[in-house]
Amino acid sequence: MVKDLSHLLSEESKGRKPSPLKSAFKYYGKEDIVFLGGGLPLADYFPWEKIVAYSPEPPFEDGIGAQPSVTGKSTISEVHKHKVEEFDIPLARSLQYGHTQGNPELIDFLKEHTKMIHNVPYEEWDLCLTIGNTQSWEACIRSFCNPGDSIFIEEYTFPSAVETARNLGVNFVPMKMDAFGIIPSALAELLENWDKSKPLPKLLYTICTGQNPTGSSLGYERRKELYDLACKYDFVIIEDEPYYFLQMTEYQSGKEEEIKTPSHEEFLKSLVKSFISMDTEGRVLRLDSFSKVLAPGTRVGWIVGQAALLERFVRLHEVSIQAPSGFSQTIVQALLGRWGQSGYVDWLIAMRKEYSIKRDFTIKCLEKYMPKEVVSWTPPIAGMFFTILLDASKHPDFATKYDSDPLKVEDAVYEQGLKDGCLMIPGSWFVAPNRKNTSGTTFFYRGTYAAVPLDTLGVGLERFAKAVKSEFGL
């Protein structure tokens, strides 16, 4: 049963009221009322009559990177100021004020998509557009946290997510992780031994699939254990899931060439169960985004969660962002409407294939170039990131030149990498505030296979391996 979680809201969020003008807007558009109430410019004055966008056409057999000019097939989205296609958002509406939650056509598409993927197990869920997951997360912080409140975060996490909250007087409580993400038993222990004089954290923030920076992914069992802890200790889980659809099959050494295109059914079945899909109490907020699957510059994300909580987000948006760009909503929905749910799944499958190829190539390069005496890795099963783990104690000058400080070795290899012509980010840059160091002499680097083509990726990894070898005297 869905719980009332309003006691967890921040003072800022609790007190937000709808605009007093709202009571008048119920008369807007009524035939027998001349509405002189709102400062809305006439759509006649919007200087865009028509927009035509050219996109690839499902089922993307030539890959998602293939240009329509090469394949000869395009999805052409022609949208007008006034409505033509049933599923389109006409420019006269998307470019006007209103629809803080999002235009109904796009909301409907995303709700149908959400049902298909997550099958949220309660009735009273809703969906609200945002400007992407960074803004969604900011809205979560502002909606739940008063200064002095605590939140759980992964012990290595996205620094911007920390920076969003850090300066608002929020107290970070890091959660221990291993190669497969948060360790539920360690969190359970932390909660059992919680100092009862201090309030429990209100939120658990996790990038649970293809985690940034570790590349780890939480499996179903761990998610279930964490969800049970959320219910027991009354906190909200924020699942920040930009990489959810970049899930791949497990890496199998030597089988890189055999990437198959699954059926829709196989694909949907292969996806890890999300927190929201097991959320019987309505205590999960799922942050989704087009940034990694269509393009970051759409600046369109969305939150899925219980309606009573999302209403608080809409109130916040009314007095801040108002709504995502109308151009973005119209153009994205024009494409999704033409592709349909099925074409969109085709796209997601084709995208997964691209990332699988890149992941496999990356691991093959690591196997080929890296000195296994000092470097190890766990092939990621999702996302854009991989990490390589190094052991500083294997460095011949560890105790002397580097004062037995692994971070000094980490820095030296980073600098040597730059000299040799490849940049990977030192793991220590992602350390969560208040984390107790339990890594001993190991340290890691985060790399990505997302941002460069395969050949460049190979060159980079060979260079970084060279830097490691020369630093470690191998």
Q: How far is the CB of 396 from a second copy (least distance, A)?
A: 26
Nearer to a second copy, 305 or 343 (CB): 343
The encoded tokens of residue 48 equal: 């865009």
Contact 150, 198 (CB under 8 A): yes
Instruction: In angstroms, give the least distance from the CB of 155 to a second copy.
Output: 16
Quote the least distance from Cβ 183 to a second copy, whole Å: 24
Q: Which of 415, 62, 423, 140 is nearest to 301 (CA)?
A: 140
* Residue 397 DSSP SS3: coil
Closest to a second copy by CB, 233 or 361: 361
Q: Two tokens at 124?
A: 């009273």
Closest-CA residue to 100 (of 324, 309, 332): 324
Nearer CB in complex with a second copy: 40/84: 40
The residue among 67 and 252 lying less far from a second copy, judged by its C-beta, is 67
Give the shortest CB-111-to-a second copy separation in angstroms. Answer: 21
Round to whole Å and give the CA distance between 189 and 88: 51
Q: Closest CB to a second copy among 305 and 427?
A: 427
- Helix or strand holding residue 435 (H, E): none
| Minimum distance, C-beta of residue 444 to a second copy, in the bound complex (Å) | 13
Q: Rounded to an integer, what distance in angstroms lies between the CA atom of residue 282 and that of residue 277?
A: 10
Q: How far apart are CA 71 and CA 61, in angstroms?
A: 9
Cα separation of 457 and 74, whole Å? 30
Q: How far apart are CA 152 and CA 171, in angstroms?
A: 9
**Least gap, CB of 190 to a second copy (angstroms):** 26
Note whether 305 and 286 are within 8 A (CB): yes
Which two structure tokens, joined as six digits, stand for 110? 């995303």
- Would you say 119 or 342 has its CB closer to a second copy? 342
Nearer to a second copy, 414 or 472 (CB): 414
Min separation Cβ 250 and a second copy, Å: 21
* ∠ CA 156-221-134, rounded to 5°: 40
Backbone angles phi, psi at 374, to 5 degrees: -120, -15
What is the smallest separation between the CB atom of 107 and a second copy, expressed in angstroms?
Answer: 16
- Comparing CB distances to a second copy, the nearer of 188 and 425 is 425
Which helix or strand (DSSP H or E) is residue 470 part of? Answer: helix 454-472
Shortest distance, CB of residue 33 to a second copy, whole angstroms? Answer: 6
What single-letter amino acid sits at 297? G
Please give the structure tokens belonging to residue 452: 């460069």
Nearer of residues 399 and 423 to a second copy, judged by Cβ: 423
Tokens of 434: 């208040």
